[in-house]
Chain A
Amino acid sequence: MKKSEVPQDNGRVFEKGSRELYYAVDENGDYTTALSTGWDAKNIVQDHTMQELQERIDQARTDVRNKKVSPIVYFMELRRMDWQLVADYTGIWKWRVKRHGKPEVFRRLNERTLAKYADTFEITLEQLRNYTGD
């Protein structure tokens, strides 16, 4: 890529006040560096990814409202986690975390266990317990 072709298509990093460094060739064919504000190809796949994640979150919210899953599933999606990651953060075995994803099991959880989840998701106990998908 030539230095003059380094894309300047305002992306997410730029919105947050930074730019990205590229290695590119100058007029003499020597390698040099240039800053880029972003690139459309990346913005497009980034937007698509965000959209897919939002769909997962929305699905989890609907499932909580319909009492198909517990709030743990919703907050797991919201924090871009999966079962294994929630297990790692809480220190609870994965198969137990999965069980806690069921509303009827979740309802019987004690405060100490709930606190581990609330901590992991960076919310209060009440927010976790009272989330109904609305």
Chain B
Amino acid sequence: MQLDFEHHITAHCENGVASNLLKNRGLPISEPMVFGIGSGLFYVYLPFLKVNHAPGLSYRPAPGWIFNRLAKRLGLKIKRQKFSDKRKAQEVLDQNLENNIPCGLQVGVYHLPYFPEDYRFHFNAHNLVVYGKDGGEYLISDPTMEVVHRLTESELEKVRFSKGVLAPKGHIYYPIYIPEYIDWEGAIVKAIRKTCNDMLAPVPIVGVRGMRMVSRAIRKWPKKVGVKKANYYLAQMVRMQEEIGTGGGGFRYIYSAFLQEAGQKINNKALIVLSEEMTAIGDLWRDFAVDASRVYKKRSTQDDVYNKLADDLLRLADLEEQFFKKLKKSV
């Protein structure tokens, strides 16, 4: 059985699942709108948490928050369920498919067979949609992929019950209510204020202050942990930053697209102008990644490179601080 569901590739998985599920339910909403109204842009440094043997860094809020915030601001209702029993988890999924409901699932990527080997880490906050079942295989719409895929029952069970940090526990979700009237302006204004407050938060590890803290840390890495480990830390940082549309430049561009679309929707010229500014900041994030990748070609003395990268990050923090202060005033 295959439900009437259209697969669209997106830059980021959680936005993509939300946007695709809502389109399916008759609410046309783009990925940038999901990302913006869900206040998806974020920055947090977690030096005490080691991810893949390197200090933790996140460019987005906890999994599920984007969709939840979006739902709250637009007045949607989402049903969410987690399971301790694997059989029950499959039964509920099968039942939903019977009832013509495409479902969002949180999964771990390590056991996803269609993922490239280089991307298969124990990362549990990936999202995809199941939109049917055919001959014992589930039909999978993974929004980071160009085409749709299939997973066997046991393959899907494995990714739904992957272990570790943020273990999905069979997490399944889908929208159950969409209001007839939506207050877009109210939602957009609230969402933008939230993002500004997050990025300007008076917390040392969050937002622009978090970026400054990372900048200080980078400067010390070669001396503190040795060049080899420092290079590895840096590689992990850039990977988190630019992998599959998430993080630094990628997120800045999605946010710019949101500001442009939102500005047109609620007729706010300031947002459209600020969109251009954010695009330029996104370009600088990409330059940062290119400069970081030069470390592995060993063209310059190591200390210099790390100092330069720390300076670049400080500059980004300054630019973003000015940007979000302006943005806050414009709504």
Expressed in whole angstroms, the Cα–Cα distance for A80 and B111 within the complex equals: 12
User: In the complex the two chains form, what is the Cα distance from A60 to B75 in whole Å?
Assistant: 53
Q: Does B119 have its Cβ within 8 Å of any Cβ on chain A? A: yes
Neighbouring A residues of B52 by C-beta, 8 Å: 80
A41 close to B289 (CB less than 8 A): yes
Digitize B115-129: 1 where CB-to-A-CB distance is under 8 Å, 0 elsewhere.
111111110000000
Q: Which residues of B contact A29 (CB under 8 A)?
A: 276
Q: Answer yes or no: B296 CB below 8 A from chain A CBs.
A: yes
Q: Is the CB of A41 within 8 A of B293?
A: yes
A88 adjacent to B231 (CB under 8 Å): no
Contact residue among B11, B32, B286, B293 (Cβ-Cβ distance under 8 Å from A20): B11
A10 to chain B, nearest CB (A): 12
CB–CB A16/B253 < 8 A: no
The answer to whether A45 and B116 touch across the interface, beta carbons within 8 angstroms, is no
Q: Is the CB of A88 within 8 A of B163?
A: yes
From B243, which residue of chain A is reached at the shortest CB distance?
Answer: A42
Contact: B120 with A1, CB < 8 Å? no
Chain B residues whose CB sits within 8 angstroms of the CB of A48 once the complex forms = 231-232, 235, 296
Is B283's beta carbon under 8 Å from chain A? yes
Residues of B within 8 A of A19 (CB): 9, 146
Docked Cα-Cα span, A52 to B233, in Å, equals 11
In the bound complex, CA of A29 to CA of B272 (Å): 10
B250-272 interface code vs A (CB 8 A; 1 in, 0 out): 10011011001100000000000
Instruction: Tell me if A20 and B260 are in contact (CB < 8 A).
Output: no
Residues on the B chain within 8 Å of A47, using CB: 296
The 11 listed contacts between A and B (C-beta, < 8 Å) are A1-B249, A21-B245, A22-B11, A23-B256, A29-B276, A31-B261, A41-B292, A44-B293, A49-B232, A82-B53, A85-B164
What is the interface of chain A, defined by CB distance below 8 A to chain B? 1, 12-13, 15-25, 29-31, 33, 35, 39-42, 44-50, 52, 79-82, 84-85, 88-89
Q: Shortest 10 CB-CB distances between A and B: which pairs?
A: A88-B163, A31-B257, A12-B116, A44-B293, A23-B253, A41-B293, A16-B116, A45-B235, A12-B118, A45-B238
